């Protein structure tokens, strides 16, 4: 690791991703900054787009009365146990009208072990989800490697794209899908 920088620099001569991609002129450096900024915005856009698609899929599943709904559980899951009510999510308040009977009739969201699927498998939807996450992961890792060059311009191009991307697209994501930070640090 002798060739890797460990302190921030302001040089315009930077190798980005490939040994042949070296910014040697101010124009090349500016183009690299613009590329990184646009890639960061694109990454945030994909998170918002995926969130919108998930919402649309949920609405369609709800409208058709499908048991394949992608909506998350609302409130605690209650199960009957020796004529007593036991919550599977103990610190969450029970929504009005939720009883042992309604929780047991919840259908596909009933807890069957530690894994809970929020929708049935669908070749089309799951392929789209996987493709979005693949592209977002690639973009995220490219952005991470750019930041790891320890170039001040690259650092601010990437973090600035996160700021502007969240301002532009953050309201199109809802907490619970697509753009949540705890999902995966490097490609958010």
Query: Phi and psi dihedrals of 111, rounded to 5?
Result: -75, 125
22 pLDDT above the threshold of 50: yes
Count structural domains, the chain. Answer: 2
Residue with tokens 């596909």: 108
In this predicted model, what pLDDT tens digit does every residue of 78-91 receive, in sequence order? 444 444 444 444 44
Q: How far apart are CA 148 and CA 128, in angstroms?
A: 30
| 89 and 148 together in one domain | no
Sign of the Cα torsion 88, 90, 92, 98 reads: positive
User: What is the pTM (predicted TM-score) of this model?
Assistant: 0.64
CA atoms within 13 A on the CB side of 81: 7
Confidence at residue 118, expressed as pLDDT on a 0 to 100 scale = 75
| 164 and 103 together in one domain | no
Q: What is the DSSP string of the chain?
A: -TTS--S-B--S-EE-SSTT-EE-SHHHHHHHHHHHHHHHHHHHHHHHHHHHHHHHHHHHHHHTT-TT--PPP-S--EEEETTEEEESSTTSPPPTT--HHHHHT-GGGS--SS---SS---HHHHHHHHHHHHHHHHHHHHHHHHHTTTBHHHHHHHHHHHHHHHHHHGGGS-BTBSS-GGG-STT-
| 32 and 1 together in one domain | yes
| 97 and 6 together in one domain | no
CB atoms within 10 A of CB 71: 16
Confidence at residue 120, expressed as pLDDT on a 0 to 100 scale = 82
Confidence at residue 127, expressed as pLDDT on a 0 to 100 scale = 93
> Where does the pLDDT of residue 180 fall: very low under 50, low under 70, confident under 90, or very high at 90 and above?
very low
| 2 and 64 together in one domain | yes
| 166 and 148 together in one domain | yes
> Where does the pLDDT of residue 109 fall: very low under 50, low under 70, confident under 90, or very high at 90 and above?
low
| 7 and 94 together in one domain | no
Confidence at residue 186, expressed as pLDDT on a 0 to 100 scale = 46
Q: What domain range includes position 104?
A: 73-117
Distance from chain centroid for Cα 132: 9
| 1 and 63 together in one domain | yes
158 pLDDT above the threshold of 80: yes
| 126 and 105 together in one domain | no
Q: How far apart are CA 122 and CA 119, in angstroms?
A: 8
| 98 and 176 together in one domain | no
| 17 and 45 together in one domain | yes
| 64 and 78 together in one domain | no
End residue of a domain, out of 117, 145, 175: 117
């Amino acid at each position: 690791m002798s060739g890797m920088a460990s302190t921030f620099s302001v040089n315009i001569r930077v190798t980005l991703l490939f040994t042949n991609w070296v910014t040697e002129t101010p124009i090349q450096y500016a183009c690299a900054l613009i590329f990184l900024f646009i890639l960061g915005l694109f990454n945030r856009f994909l998170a918002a787009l995926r969130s919108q698609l998930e919402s649309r899929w949920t609405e369609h599943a709800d409208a058709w009365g499908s048991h394949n709904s992608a909506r998350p559980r609302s409130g605690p899951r209650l199960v009957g146990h020796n004529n007593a009510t036991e919550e599977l999510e103990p610190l969450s308040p029970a929504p009005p009208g939720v009883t042992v009977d309604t929780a047991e009739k919840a259908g596909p969201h009933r807890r069957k072990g530690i894994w809970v699927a929020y929708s049935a498998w669908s070749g089309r939807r799951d392929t789209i989800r996987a493709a979005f996450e693949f592209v977002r992961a690639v973009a995220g890792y490219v952005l991470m490697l750019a930041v790891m060059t320890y170039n001040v311009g690259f650092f601010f191009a990437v973090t600035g794209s996160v700021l502007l991307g969240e301002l532009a697209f953050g309201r199109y994501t809802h907490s619970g899908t697509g753009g949540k930070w705890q999902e995966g640090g490097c490609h958010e």
